[in-house]
Amino acid sequence: MEKSETTHFGYQTVSASEKARKVAAVFDSVASKYDVMNDLMSLGIHRLWKRFALGVSGVRAGDRVLDLAGGTGDLSSRLWPRVGPTGSIVLSDINATMLAEGRRRLVDEGEVGAVAYVQADAEQLPFPTNTFDCIFIAFGLRNVTRKEQALASMWSTLKPGGRVIILEFSHPIVPGLKPLYDLYSFTVLPTLGRLVANDAASYRYLAESIRMHPQQEPLLRMMEAAGFERCQYFNLTGGVVAVHRGYKF
């Protein structure tokens, strides 16, 4: 197998097809407990991170928005009041179990007809060019095998003047924070996964996948290479999380 066909699954080197199967298995396992675990893992701070991302998105009434790798629909539920009845949201995820969980949740919240659901691969989005005013991908890009290809697909799918918002775990910039963050990630997270979701291995993978994800500046350069302009990022919680934003002109 050629080197170009290999990638990372956490700290393991695997084939691209094997990574896809392994990532699918992770999210099949954690789907039903995903939102509960988000609250526990972040002590609820993920809600503030998402609020910030929404704030810098510029999403307004009438916009058409893609919630990519949107999983359980947490972000879609926050987007709907912003786009209003004249706008639209597409909740998309490559994982059928996560997407079904998202649809169930949004239906339970009464948002019937407010959101369209599309199972799709971020590397090959099944939408025409110039479709969306904004694309969000929150805590999903690190699980994508060919990130450059996904960014190019997002760029194509955006309308001119549209923007991409990438909310993702990143790399701490505050002195002394990294050792504490590593200790938390590799001890507390797997323990929470075992106790709450009966799955320590999946949460160990999530911790590893964060370390393998590009740091703030390399990700910004990848966005620029894909065609995005006026790219910038905002470090949150000392760089534990970063929000990247780029525009298509």
What confidence tens digit (pLDDT) does each residue in 208-227 have?
888 999 999 999 999 999 99
- pLDDT at residue 1 greater than cutoff 70: no
C-alpha to C-alpha distances, 99 to 32, 126, 143, 224, nearest whole angstrom: 11, 16, 16, 30
- The CATH H-level superfamily of 3-247 is Vaccinia Virus protein VP39 (3.40.50.150)
Torsion of CA 145, 147, 153, 156, to 10 degrees: 180
Instruction: Centre a 10 Å sphere on the Cβ of residue 111 and count the other Cβ atoms it contains.
Output: 17
Q: Helix (H, G, I), strand (E, B), or coil: what is residue 153?
A: helix
| Residue 52: closest CA among 166, 160, 163, 218 | 166
* Rounded mean pLDDT, 1-11: 66
What are the structure tokens assigned to 160, written together? 């001119």
Burial 57-75 (b: 16+ CB within 10 A, else e): bebeeebbbbbbbbbbbbb
Beta-bridge partner residues of 15? 6
pLDDT digits (tens, 9 = 90+) for 44-82: 899 999 999 999 999 999 999 999 999 889 999 999 999
Report whether 187 contacts 181 (CB < 8 A): no
Name the residue ranges covered by the structural domains of the chain: 3-247
pLDDT digits (tens, 9 = 90+) for 101-138: 999 989 888 766 779 999 999 999 999 999 999 999 99
- Name the pTM for this structure: 0.89
The one-letter amino acid code at 202 reads S
Report whether 230 contacts 211 (CB < 8 A): no
